[in-house]
Structure 1
């Protein structure tokens, strides 16, 4: 195949990561709203009536598994299998889809099939996963819409381990595909692949200073650099990065050690050649490559001559079997640094016994040298990881079970609660990381509960703020958070500054007895209280409305709550309640867009909710910034009317605050934040604001507010979908 562009190395040097230009590139500081519209339904070829769960009911799971088992040994001449099996390749395809998950914001992972699109399909660390997906294509073609790419990619690695001899823990279907790149997911500021990691850290020698929300140590990597920190071998230093990165993937030390060892028990690394001889990655390749990348332009480029990571070799002498040989080699030999044929640093055993040498992937008469990466050596050098590995060595069954569970967690972490899972292999056990919530009661008198709330003496602002704080933690990235479970009453949420603990405890002290007396869950009563507050505010505006309510939420216990894991859900800002914990590098309005996207809201919904929350007086701490009304507690369009009124001018005060000054009198009428004023300064948001400022939009504002509010309150009610 011809290629007009120069070869681009997947490991050794950089390529520009810019994904294209647009009209707004002229104004780089302008607020871009694309993140709120990145999954427009018009991009979905399956249509609005398509229901994946209904299609899954038609899936012959046993036949699908049988086809995947057969695929593992169906070696294709265009991309032959190592040792006649694709076990290692399929495990890697799955791992590299799931391993991009980060618990900091819940993004990444394999829940959407995003490995098919840029930038992930062209990350240096994902070299040749494109070949794995093409090997899976005949199976996808056969089963069609009854299996998503996301589910198929996740299942392929699990079947690979099953075929290797591991007793796997289970599998759940239910991942739905996206249809275009998630352009606005933040993967880092670097403009080159594999740029030095120093820019991601406050201090690269202190792994916990890695910039949030990132988990990978360099642009284009899934997790850590296999050669060492910034490509410099130092297992002790690498151990620190492994620990932090895997923690941000939701893994503890034992899970991390199990995944590292188990991940390298099968398969091999490929670095037999020069990276300079590779064709460009998929997104940069010419049409004749048909979406494939990284072909070697010299030599065979397959089999023993494959080039992937630059590291060359298998970790064990039995790379197609699940066994304990990884530990036997790692702890049974001394290791020394060597360079691979591609020039990458890797570790090689000293005085290796020939029986511990893997055979060549094509010729079993040829013995090859086993290898370890810097991350593998970290398992031996780091005292905590070493102790865990010794525990595994003493109890192989415990190691297998720990890995199987960690693999299951890795491949399912971003799917959300079990109510979203489907299939015959869903484990019966409830796992703490699933954020379990017991079933709630829906058989109670909702009207009577609402009457007790009405008589409670709690204000509209108190009721609405508490319900909002309970629900706003939901993030569609990994389906965590939300009002269901009423975890706002438990540690750590009850003590979060953003939840105003003093006000929260006052409200809960009133609502908890109502829940106990009525048989309703506190989660339901909190939401119903917010709904009642909205209804009363709408009534005061002259619009009679009933906010939709579906009972049935449950109350989680502290024992069902992973307190440490929930720490990543703490809000550090909330534009809807006009609150910012401290100043950040990212502007308040950009933070607002990020939170809005995580909650699954559109730009118009964001607009009406912010404007409505302001006039309801729900600002954090009772702040009056943005409360552009003399009728606080009335669900009016006053925020938008004031914002678009040219009788005012907007005077900066510093620290992101502004005075709203009457042009004639010179008197300050209101105060505002940057978040308030962006709805007038940004052209798109102003267009929405003007709609709600119109004289004929008072009723529309209420109805749109109620619809958006209800969506937030029910975001985690998967039983209603």
Structure 2
């Protein structure tokens, strides 16, 4: 063989072009629209096949035996990674906490509901150092119970079990989290290119800690919450309190819940900053192949016990770090504290004076006492007057503290699961909690056809009916299963006043639909959706195609008391590409926000395309705008949007108004229509144009209506976890 043959050493693989995540077909054109966010959890990466249902499998679990096995593991010290003080409680609590704690309210992404801590970047974040060991410790249990327990459920259940073994009566637990099988690489964690830093985008005003860029909640790239050393690594508890408050608020926690979580989280376990962390091996995602997916390996000493090294602060917070007690409050409030540095070089706090018997024991030798510590976030609990008031209240009433923490922990670990209807298992609490967005069951016994006829005879236009139904349903997001049409919260604060919902038009439509609902025994939620279906059927008929839109009754109507209005504020749509509306100009292109919204709705690129094209010609644009309405038959569900979008007799020209374009006849120069970027992108993007051309073909008029109805029904039923 010569040098050109494989035997001569020429590699048969195209280096980097297909095997790394840094290159892609579109890398040459960075301004091109990236559709990865819509394809990141394609069914091809799921190993179980289309007929597998985790929600069915998990119901087969021996729940009691599983709990016994995890409880035993908490105190079962294994040779390769022995537990501190003979307990893995702190490690498993941290694993569960950091899995769930990446949740943020703004877009519902992050959190422990999909087991995404198994993948980059979360599996290799500096703040998650050594949590790879915790998951490996759980592997024998995962192996034993197999498909009946997801990693997402098991990781959070391990944290629950760790608290129970330590002495806390937990609030409960719900199973039902389905694993993902690919990194959520398009979740926005910040624009920084280096761990543990923040750039000018994260905090436009460094002194205003509420200026943290949306949808982020962590203060720097690579941390779950705040910097334990202080703001920008400088001890200042009063300033850190501002970061704590803002970060936990963005996780949907109030001040009392935040105080309870801080105290309860630091009641168990310790920090491991007993040496220079730069000596550790790379994180899991960057490790050598023989590391077999483990990272942060310590080359010195045993690598565990006293030699366990994570980096950052060193020491325990309480005298008895494996016991659920009030020791945190005694340690924090009964001592004066001064700054010091850990052996790893991290700022932390130590008591000015402490008796030896009040110190925590060494993790390997109970006869040796070690210095306790507090982070700057702990000191914030002492310095901030609001947080301190809760610390004192918790100290005086341990049962109240335990109950408050148990509820906050339950919220932390279940916040992204959606309504309680999705919870499975024997430990689901009976109590309905307002943050679960409860919705009462609706009637299924009314005459659907009679209601549809009343709606059809009501005088409402097709555009009014379809727009209202869409606005009611479009708030759904698959990230945390919140929002949607069920509950009819569009008629409640804050949604009834959102600019995107056109309050005047909304109230007009509701004034017609609510009496129909009352007279028929149907819920307002059902009638709103039915009105949208009636509008779609009328639009299809106007295009010469008879169709019946599928409908499942049973939605209920929520009340103000069932609605956490403050948490819904963050869900207000600021751009809706489907209704061709932008509240104001943003740094992000509107078409990129359209893709983000589409992903949250659980739609594909073809489904997005057919819905946009159909809603334009139906006449659902916000405020009655004519932009993108490329038809002279408004109200008919025709393919005109796509036909005229791809018509080569048209030219597309920018106007003096930013983001607005004119569509002119190529020969005469006469303006035919106007359009926005949210219209032109379906002709300019090679991917979207390919879909648009399908619906512009002469032979796909019926296919277009069929596909529109299917996508429409998918959105209307997105939050129907009961069907």
Could you say whether these structures have the same fold, taking a TM-score greater than 0.5 normalized by the shorter chain as the test? yes
Using the TM superposition, give the Cα deviation of residue 275 of structure 1 relative to its aligned residue in structure 2, in angstroms: 1.3
Indicate conservation of the 8 Å contact 1:316/1:370, yes or no.
Answer: yes
CA distance in 2, matches of 1:552, 1:57: 24
How does 1:653-664 map onto structure 2 within 5 Å? Answer: 653=655, 654-664=657-667
SS in 2 for 1:84: coil
Output one character per residue of 1:508-565: Cα deviation in whole Å (capped at 9) or x when no partner. Answer: 0000000000000000000000000000000011111000000000000111111111
Do residues 714 (structure 1) and 717 (structure 2) align?
A: yes
Output one character per residue of 1:629-654: Cα deviation in whole Å (capped at 9) or x when no partner. Answer: 00000000000001101101110114
Using the TM superposition, give the Cα deviation of residue 353 of structure 1 relative to its aligned residue in structure 2, in angstroms: 1.2
In structure 2, the partner of 1:243 is 245
Using the TM superposition, give the Cα deviation of residue 297 of structure 1 relative to its aligned residue in structure 2, in angstroms: 2.4
Indicate conservation of the 8 Å contact 1:172/1:426, yes or no.
Answer: yes
Gaps (5+ residues) in structure 1?
1-17
Indicate conservation of the 8 Å contact 1:197/1:217, yes or no.
Answer: no
CA distance in 2, matches of 1:573, 1:718: 27
CA distance in 2, matches of 1:639, 1:553: 33
Indicate conservation of the 8 Å contact 1:197/1:204, yes or no.
Answer: no
Using the TM superposition, give the Cα deviation of residue 89 of structure 1 relative to its aligned residue in structure 2, in angstroms: 0.2
Using the TM superposition, give the Cα deviation of residue 298 of structure 1 relative to its aligned residue in structure 2, in angstroms: 2.9
SS in 1 for 2:357: helix
In structure 2, the partner of 1:143 is 145
CA distance in 2, matches of 1:67, 1:74: 10
Name segments (4+ residues, structure 1) moved above 3 Å: 196-199
Using the TM superposition, give the Cα deviation of residue 19 of structure 1 relative to its aligned residue in structure 2, in angstroms: 4.8
CA distance in 2, matches of 1:428, 1:532: 38
In structure 2, the partner of 1:683 is 686
Using the TM superposition, give the Cα deviation of residue 274 of structure 1 relative to its aligned residue in structure 2, in angstroms: 0.8
Indicate conservation of the 8 Å contact 1:659/1:672, yes or no.
Answer: yes
Do residues 82 (structure 1) and 84 (structure 2) align?
A: yes
CA distance in 2, matches of 1:605, 1:155: 36
Do residues 671 (structure 1) and 681 (structure 2) align?
A: no
In structure 2, the partner of 1:221 is 223
Using the TM superposition, give the Cα deviation of residue 27 of structure 1 relative to its aligned residue in structure 2, in angstroms: 1.0
Using the TM superposition, give the Cα deviation of residue 176 of structure 1 relative to its aligned residue in structure 2, in angstroms: 0.3
Using the TM superposition, give the Cα deviation of residue 300 of structure 1 relative to its aligned residue in structure 2, in angstroms: 2.7
SS in 2 for 1:451: helix
CA distance in 2, matches of 1:305, 1:348: 21
Using the TM superposition, give the Cα deviation of residue 196 of structure 1 relative to its aligned residue in structure 2, in angstroms: 3.3
Indicate conservation of the 8 Å contact 1:92/1:157, yes or no.
Answer: yes
In structure 2, the partner of 1:428 is 430
Output one character per residue of 1:385-408: Cα deviation in whole Å (capped at 9) or x when no partner. Answer: 011111111211100000000000
Indicate conservation of the 8 Å contact 1:416/1:478, yes or no.
Answer: yes
In structure 1, the partner of 2:157 is 155
Output one character per residue of 1:311-350: Cα deviation in whole Å (capped at 9) or x when no partner. Answer: 1000011000000000001000000000100100000001
Indicate conservation of the 8 Å contact 1:317/1:358, yes or no.
Answer: yes
Give the counterpart of 1:594 among 593, 596, 609: 596
Indicate conservation of the 8 Å contact 1:484/1:716, yes or no.
Answer: yes
Give the counterpart of 2:321 among 310, 314, 319: 319
In structure 2, the partner of 1:286 is 288
Indicate conservation of the 8 Å contact 2:191/2:199, yes or no.
Answer: no
Using the TM superposition, give the Cα deviation of residue 198 of structure 1 relative to its aligned residue in structure 2, in angstroms: 5.2
Do residues 295 (structure 1) and 297 (structure 2) align?
A: yes
CA distance in 2, matches of 1:205, 1:59: 51
Indicate conservation of the 8 Å contact 2:284/2:296, yes or no.
Answer: yes
Output one character per residue of 1:427-449: Cα deviation in whole Å (capped at 9) or x when no partner. Answer: 00000000000000010000100
SS in 2 for 1:327: helix
Indicate conservation of the 8 Å contact 2:275/2:309, yes or no.
Answer: yes
Give the counterpart of 1:695 among 691, 698, 712: 698
Indicate conservation of the 8 Å contact 1:541/1:634, yes or no.
Answer: yes
How does 1:38-77 map onto structure 2 within 5 Å? Answer: 38-77=40-79
Using the TM superposition, give the Cα deviation of residue 363 of structure 1 relative to its aligned residue in structure 2, in angstroms: 1.2
In structure 2, the partner of 1:193 is 195
In structure 2, the partner of 1:5 is none
Indicate conservation of the 8 Å contact 2:274/2:311, yes or no.
Answer: no
Indicate conservation of the 8 Å contact 2:332/2:382, yes or no.
Answer: yes
Using the TM superposition, give the Cα deviation of residue 197 of structure 1 relative to its aligned residue in structure 2, in angstroms: 5.7
SS in 2 for 1:102: coil
CA distance in 2, matches of 1:613, 1:575: 10
CA distance in 2, matches of 1:180, 1:525: 39
CA distance in 2, matches of 1:75, 1:19: 38
How does 1:246-645 map onto structure 2 within 5 Å? Answer: 246-645=248-647
In structure 2, the partner of 1:205 is 207
Indicate conservation of the 8 Å contact 2:662/2:674, yes or no.
Answer: yes
Using the TM superposition, give the Cα deviation of residue 299 of structure 1 relative to its aligned residue in structure 2, in angstroms: 3.1
Gaps (5+ residues) in structure 2?
1-19
Indicate conservation of the 8 Å contact 1:273/1:306, yes or no.
Answer: no
Indicate conservation of the 8 Å contact 1:205/1:237, yes or no.
Answer: no
CA distance in 2, matches of 1:19, 1:297: 29
Using the TM superposition, give the Cα deviation of residue 301 of structure 1 relative to its aligned residue in structure 2, in angstroms: 2.1
Cα distance change, pair 588–676 in 1 and its aligned pair in 2 (3 A): same
CA distance in 2, matches of 1:320, 1:86: 9
User: Structure 1-normalised TM-score?
Assistant: 0.97
CA distance in 2, matches of 1:181, 1:308: 24
In structure 2, the partner of 1:126 is 128
CA distance in 2, matches of 1:59, 1:370: 41
SS in 1 for 2:144: helix
In structure 1, the partner of 2:95 is 93
Using the TM superposition, give the Cα deviation of residue 206 of structure 1 relative to its aligned residue in structure 2, in angstroms: 1.3
RMSD: 0.9
Using the TM superposition, give the Cα deviation of residue 307 of structure 1 relative to its aligned residue in structure 2, in angstroms: 1.4
Indicate conservation of the 8 Å contact 1:466/1:507, yes or no.
Answer: yes
SS in 2 for 1:200: coil
CA distance in 2, matches of 1:676, 1:286: 48
Using the TM superposition, give the Cα deviation of residue 355 of structure 1 relative to its aligned residue in structure 2, in angstroms: 1.7
Indicate conservation of the 8 Å contact 1:83/1:361, yes or no.
Answer: yes
Indicate conservation of the 8 Å contact 2:416/2:479, yes or no.
Answer: yes
Indicate conservation of the 8 Å contact 1:661/1:667, yes or no.
Answer: yes
Indicate conservation of the 8 Å contact 2:276/2:311, yes or no.
Answer: no
SS in 2 for 1:719: coil
In structure 1, the partner of 2:6 is none
In structure 2, the partner of 1:648 is 650
Q: How many residues align?
A: 703
User: Structure 2-normalised TM-score?
Assistant: 0.97
SS in 1 for 2:515: helix
Output one character per residue of 1:161-215: Cα deviation in whole Å (capped at 9) or x when no partner. Answer: 0000001000000000000101111010001001136541121221211000000
Using the TM superposition, give the Cα deviation of residue 77 of structure 1 relative to its aligned residue in structure 2, in angstroms: 1.6
Using the TM superposition, give the Cα deviation of residue 101 of structure 1 relative to its aligned residue in structure 2, in angstroms: 0.3
Cα distance change, pair 198–674 in 1 and its aligned pair in 2 (3 A): closer
CA distance in 1, matches of 2:146, 2:415: 25
Using the TM superposition, give the Cα deviation of residue 58 of structure 1 relative to its aligned residue in structure 2, in angstroms: 1.2
Indicate conservation of the 8 Å contact 1:125/1:221, yes or no.
Answer: yes
Indicate conservation of the 8 Å contact 1:336/1:350, yes or no.
Answer: yes
SS in 1 for 2:417: coil
CA distance in 2, matches of 1:461, 1:228: 53
CA distance in 2, matches of 1:279, 1:402: 39
Indicate conservation of the 8 Å contact 1:650/1:658, yes or no.
Answer: yes
